[in-house]
Chain A
Amino acid sequence: MTIPYNIPISDLDYCLEQLLDHKPPKILPPETIQHLCHTLKTQLLSVPNIMPLQSPISIVGDIHGQFHDLLEIFQIGGSPPSTNYLFLGDYVDRGYYSVETISLLIALKLRYPDRVFLIRGNHESRTITTNYGFYTEVLNKYNGSAEVWTYITDLFDYLPLGATIDGKIFAAHGGLSPSCQQLDQIRALDRFREIPHDGIMADLVWSDPDTEILDFKLSPRGAGYLFGLDVINKFCHDNDLMQMVRAHQLCNEGYTSYWKGKCLTVWSAPNYCYRCGNRASVLEILYYSGESKSMGEPNANENDVKYDDYKNRFEDSIVHKVQGVLPGQFFNIFEASPENDEDTSKGKGVNGINSDEELVGNGDFFCSYFKERPRKQHVEYFL
């Protein structure tokens, strides 16, 4: 191969700059995307299905193409390389900036390989992205060519399926699988493929916790699982885990704690789809507290900077009880970025999406002072 294994840092910084210093963000040329994807694929080949990671680390849930809200996360939670990030998948679809979002994450991963970690969500899939918007967005932004979509969805096949933090927390996009009792069964999977409809790989990205049940239940829609308390207890016990952290489910508060923190949902797309009005969060895991101290006072070295930071920012032992997290953890909650609000009122027409649509209705409907910024879709002669 003539393509180098590593891309020079300056090249990566240039990519980041294209995406960050322009409004709207500049999309990267297809050749660049191809190159980034190729290099990242090569690197991901040697990454295990479950990445062993350490605290401190911030865990991010679904983003769904809400690029500016992703920037908001770096704003409130610190940016790489000074903060470590684990992203739990669902980078694309639904929002208006899937292309920019996944491009930024790929560039960041290559730029800071030891600081940024990406795992696979159910939307990192060819079928799902053709149904939920990413494919269409690529066609709109790249002059009708699906080339970039092909590069990126090929890369998706290489993303790891989960991570452990300090060996005690298991992180995945969706949930547990009845076909999987040991983490080693996940480690042994051949993950380099499209997400199948069934089996461990499917369940990991699709299943949901349910506090009403104890065991597994089938969803009435005919596929997919819900898992209950006995399931998570057994899984944690058998794998010497304290907790499962996952994303995948929208919630108004931006996070959900199940079973006193045994399972957490982190949701990172505020005002999801530009209309839900929900908050979002990032789960900051500052340190791991031993089991003897779990749910008690944070146990940390007084000289530990991380702990002092934690202590200064939050009244210790109160926050984790309110949020239903374990000591040393904290949901950093945030609201939609101003740009999200902007997209909300604009409805459509961002960065090439639906650029073929003409203003509906006639301009007279908008008061004179809106003339410099005509809006779409606010008045419609529907029948």
Chain B
Amino acid sequence: MSQDNQEQSVSSKESTSKSKTVFTMPGNRPGIQAVHVNAAREMVRLHTQGRRPPSSTTASTAVKGPVPPLPSTASSFPGASPHPHVSIPEGCKNPQCTHCGKVIIPAPQSSYPIQDTPAIAVKNWKIYTIKKPILNSTELEDLEARFHFPLPEMIFGNSRVKIVNEVSGESIEFNALDALDSLDSESHLKVSYHKEWLDSRRSEREKKEKEERGEVESRDLREFTDKLDTIEPYDWTYSPNYKGTTNIKFSESSQEIPIHRLTQPDPILFFDEAVLFEDELADNGISILNYKIRVMPTCLLLLCRFYLRIDNVIFRIRDTRVFVDFDQDLVIRDYRQQEYEYSELLKSVQRKSIGNDPKKLFRDHDWVSKNIPTINKVVESNQ
């Protein structure tokens, strides 16, 4: 302590001779060095150890080695479970909580990329999810025959969520590639400053043509833009028309998803969420397809949501909800589209004068969904 003070006074004495000391600090410290980095890392390591379950692994924490076997099969499911129809299928490597038997997601040992395939089975229904990293360059090359347009910058093409009825064979799954197959061939939407941008480009070209007429030599890279406009049109907003990949025979139904069963505080036995694809539209907004699933003892809800925000242009949401009643093997699919002008929503946010960061709300997909109108809705069921 006193030594620190001494150091401070020394350093301030030193520096006052040259310039005023701006910050109070100890004296001669080294700059950034590997040892600093190591120290920071070590602190984090200590801090994050709490992540590992202490009981079964205390013996192995000192030894870096294979992860000890974890309870992962149906037989190890606690006999005292209040839900006898629930089991953990083979192949699911996620451990269960020793207390309540819930599937732990992500598994405590998993490090990204999360390679395990968490799964749960309730009565006739089996539910699983796969989460993998974005596609690599080889995988992307293999897709060139399937997609003739530039793909979103992040494609989780190996990730999926799947619900299967083991008895009837009915299944529905959501994955990125099938969603991208369903895009329109082009989009009428443009970024907000499109006109301004086009105008400046036109005037540049006119300038160049003038220069050429005046026989001023002006060969520059602009010559490469003269013969073309855009690349082959495609839906650059990546708005899918996708209600899942399924063999279920759906027909229009008047039976809505029973909200009361989803709002009662049933325990959630299984929850997972993941992004299927995502693109920042070259910083003009966001286009993202993701899913969330929660499994309760008697039913499940899956939401696959497409969210599009083009800054200063539009919001667009396309939600597919799948509800499964395990007792009746009933599947209800609710698909709805929402759209709203950006400026309209911004106005209503400003009216409510929500803080000094209104755009924060525009990154909250749920908030946007609750605050923009629905333009189309279809409810179907398998019964």
Contact = CB atoms under 8 A, between A and B. Distances in A.
Interface stretch (A163-171, A186-194, A218-226, A280-288): A218-226
Contact of A368 (B44, B99, B137, B187): B99
Contacts of B104: 367
A251 B137 contact: yes
Contacts of B30: 13
A260 interface: no
Which 6 interchain pairs have the tightest Cβ spacing? A277-B133, A14-B25, A222-B194, A277-B113, A222-B190, A215-B224
A276 B11 contact: no
A367 B100 contact: yes
Contacts of B363: 133, 136
Interface of B: 11, 15, 18-34, 36-41, 43-45, 47-48, 50-51, 53-55, 97-100, 102, 104-106, 108, 111-113, 132-137, 150, 153-154, 186-187, 190-191, 193-194, 196-198, 200-201, 204, 219-222, 224-225, 227-234, 236, 259, 262-263, 267-268, 271, 273-275, 280-285, 292, 294, 301, 303, 311, 355-357, 359-360, 362-363, 366
Contact of A197 (B34, B41, B100, B197): B197
B194 A13 contact: no
Interface stretch (A42-50, A75-83, A309-317): A75-83
A120 B95 CA distance: 46
A14 B20 contact: no
Most chain A CB neighbours (cut-off 10 Å) among B25, B43, B219, B360 = B25
Interface size classification for chain A: 35 or more
Interface of A: 2, 4, 6-8, 10-17, 20-23, 25, 32, 35, 68, 71, 74-75, 78-81, 108, 111-112, 122-123, 128, 130-133, 135-136, 139, 144, 146, 176-181, 197-199, 206, 210, 213-228, 230-231, 234-235, 249-253, 256, 271-278, 336-342, 344-345, 361, 364-370, 372-373, 378-383
A22 B357 CA distance: 29
A108 B222 CA distance: 39
A293 to B, nearest CB: 28
B236 A345 contact: no
A348 to B, nearest CB: 12
A93 to B, nearest CB: 9
A220 B197 contact: no
B189 to A, nearest CB: 8
Nearest to A180: B221
Contacts of A176: 221
Given A199-B200, A278-B134, A369-B53, A206 B303 contact: no
Contact of B40 (A15, A71, A234): A71
A62 B18 CA distance: 38
